[in-house]
């Protein structure tokens, strides 16, 4: 119950602008590696590998360390729930933007739900025998927190072939913030 209440309060605070965004310059690739390493022990127990694409771009972004950490926590927890054997992480830069991708090889997300999953309290009913987890606030928080930092988040997915959650942020020095 306390998790539900904390989730509701956090989403409400950030929506109301009461959770301040404290920008700092971060190396997004290093940050993604650090966060990936935190989940390797859990992944190993589930026989899932987490890898960071060695061809990823190193990119400095302006972001809130705490918010970005919580966003990636939510995305890794979700990926670990649905991945079959692997989670792939990458960072790519293009035209003053950087895109962080966390992809799994799980069951995927049906087309009709790809936008809805970012709505508060929305959960997909019993997808491929996987039971519901949480309260439908994690991805809603991610969306609100990414947008509070001037970015955007979306999912690319094909049923039966996994899901790739992507976050786009401005590269530091590109005129943002």
Decide yes or no: CATH 3.30.565.10 for domain 2-16+23-170: yes
Question: Which residues contact residue 51 at a Cβ distance below 8 angstroms, ignoring those fewer than 6 apart?
Answer: 36, 86, 87, 88, 89
**pLDDT value at 66 more than 60:** yes
Model confidence band, residue 1 (pLDDT cutoffs 50, 70, 90): very low
Indicate the domain borders of the chain.
2-16+23-170
Element containing residue 10 per DSSP (H, E) = helix 2-15
**pLDDT value at 132 more than 90:** no
């Amino acid at each position: 119950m306390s998790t539900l209440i904390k989730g509701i309060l956090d989403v409400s605070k950030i929506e109301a602008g009461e959770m301040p965004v404290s920008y700092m310059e971060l190396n997004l690739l290093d940050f993604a590696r650090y966060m990936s390493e935190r989940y390797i022990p859990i992944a190993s127990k589930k026989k899932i590998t987490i890898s960071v694409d060695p061809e990823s771009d190193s990119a400095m972004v302006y972001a809130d360390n705490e918010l970005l950490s919580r966003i990636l926590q939510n995305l890794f927890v979700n990926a670990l729930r649905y991945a079959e054997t692997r989670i792939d992480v990458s960072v790519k830069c293009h035209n003053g933007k950087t895109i962080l991708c966390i992809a799994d090889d799980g069951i995927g997300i049906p087309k009709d739900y790809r936008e809805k999953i970012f709505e508060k309290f929305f959960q997909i009913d019993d997808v491929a025998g996987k039971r519901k987890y949480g309260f439908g606030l994690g991805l809603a928080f991610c969306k609100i927190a990414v947008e509070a930092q001037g970015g955007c988040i979306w999912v690319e997915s094909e049923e039966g072939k996994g899901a790739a959650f992507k976050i786009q942020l401005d590269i530091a020095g590109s005129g943002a913030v």
